[in-house]
Structure 1
């Protein structure tokens, strides 16, 4: 069953913080939760993001003007990509840890990772996704 949720995405890199808020859909399928939303950042154009997670990993897919597929597994370096109209960049992520404070998909999902773009270290990133039930007005 899909539920409409409010989403707050907090990212931190090199002492810089960025916060985005949007609405999305949350649903559970087999052993995984899925969170789907339209990217609120205008730099991403018309892009839909899906965050999928289970007990072992977090995956982030983007489709639209931006295409990407990144996988995060605690203590593991994983391959992925990020594609813009200008071209494709191979990415790797070494995930330091994933923290889940969730009840039926609602709550907080956090992870930190080192990002490598075309083999070059691009920085350490910490993401925190807060998922709350949409309140009726």
Structure 2
């Protein structure tokens, strides 16, 4: 009998982004699950107000989005992470330490290629005790720093930090502090 493994967790997220010494924090909820050897984090960016829409390095700086929510998927592979956004804006960025990787951005009014040069990637995993008694190891904190290039022009350096905390009865195991 094929059934779903209990590998999907409902999570609370704290996303912190820093660009040009401006710090923006967002509290979100999402789903974290394991597929193959990669973790996937899925969440929805809320519709932002006009004055805040330019603050996030992973948000559109293009007014064509009509401030609608954007679905975000972050794939955490062993050596490469991939951030995909879909909705009124479609974008894809990949991150691998000390490598330049291509990406893309598409909206109703423009489309262009992106390039990321990642200078820092940190991932801290922790054991979580699920309500059914199972202990699973999931990422609890990730952080990365990258330079973003649009048409070969450097648009700035971005720092992102994402704290991930289980919901729905799952809790961090305290005996393992690796």
What TM-score, normalized by structure 1, do the two folds share? 0.93
Corresponding position of 1:21: 27
- Structure 1 residues 8, 17: closer, same or farther in 2, change over 3 A? same
Alignment of 1:37-56 (within 5 A): 37-42=43-48, 43=53, 45-56=68-79
Corresponding position of 2:120: 97
Q: CA deviation at 1:105?
A: 2.3
- Relative to its length, the structure with more strand (as a share) is 1
Is the 1:21–1:40 contact (alpha carbons within 8 Å) kept by the matching residues of 2?
A: no
Greater C-alpha Rg? 2
Displaced runs of 4+ in structure 1, greater than 6 A? none
Q: Distance in 2 between matches of 1:28 and 1:69?
A: 20
CA RMSD for the aligned pairs? 1.4
Q: Between Structure 1 and Structure 2, how many residues are aligned? A: 136
Q: Distance in 1 between matches of 2:27 and 2:150?
A: 26
Corresponding position of 2:13: 7
Which of 162, 165, 172 matches 1:129?
Answer: 162
Q: Distance in 2 between matches of 1:69 and 1:59?
A: 7
Corresponding position of 2:61: none
In structure 2, list runs of 5 or more residues that go unmatched. Answer: 1-6, 54-66, 127-136, 170-178
